[in-house]
Amino acid sequence: MFYIHCPYCQEYREEEEFHPRGQGHLMRPADPDNATDEEWGDYLFFRDNPRGIHHELWVHSVGCRKFFNITRNTVTYEILETYPMGEQPTITAESEKLRKEQGVQTADGGWQTIGAQPDSRALNEEISS
């Protein structure tokens, strides 16, 4: 079982309360009438399937019932951060690559979930059991 931090309830909840809804940050074509078939096809049917960092849309279906984003590592299942709708991730595939190149070791376990806001440092701390 995962503990997932809901950015709206502002606390950790059981994975059971959540539901994944696929890739996050999908943009509907801005001008639908003039979008090409390819643009529509990409929007409707084609999804990323990366090995590593992935940004996903999840819903806190038993709880506040709000949608939010999760940055997740598809290899380790590690949840790197959760952030509300409309915000951009602070951790991306590029930033993770940069960390590795600069030789910064990724913390394990302790920072499993961090909020997107700079002031949510407290979330980095281990949850007391």
Q: Which residues bind other proteins (CB under 8 A)?
A: 8-11, 13-14, 16-17, 62-66, 128
Which CB sits closer to other proteins, 57 or 64?
A: 64
Which CB sits closer to other proteins, 21 or 100?
A: 21
Rounded to an integer, what distance in angstroms lies between the CA atom of residue 46 and that of residue 85?
21
CB of 22 to other proteins, least distance (A): 21
Q: Which residues contact 36 (CB under 8 A, 6 or more apart)?
A: none
CB of 84 to other proteins, least distance (A): 9
Name the 3-class secondary structure at 82. strand
The residue to which tokens 């590593």 are assigned? 52
Cβ atoms of residues 68 and 8 within 8 Å = yes
CB of 62 to other proteins, least distance (A): 5
Which CB sits closer to other proteins, 35 or 64?
A: 64
CB atoms within 10 A of CB 13: 17
CB of 87 to other proteins, least distance (A): 14
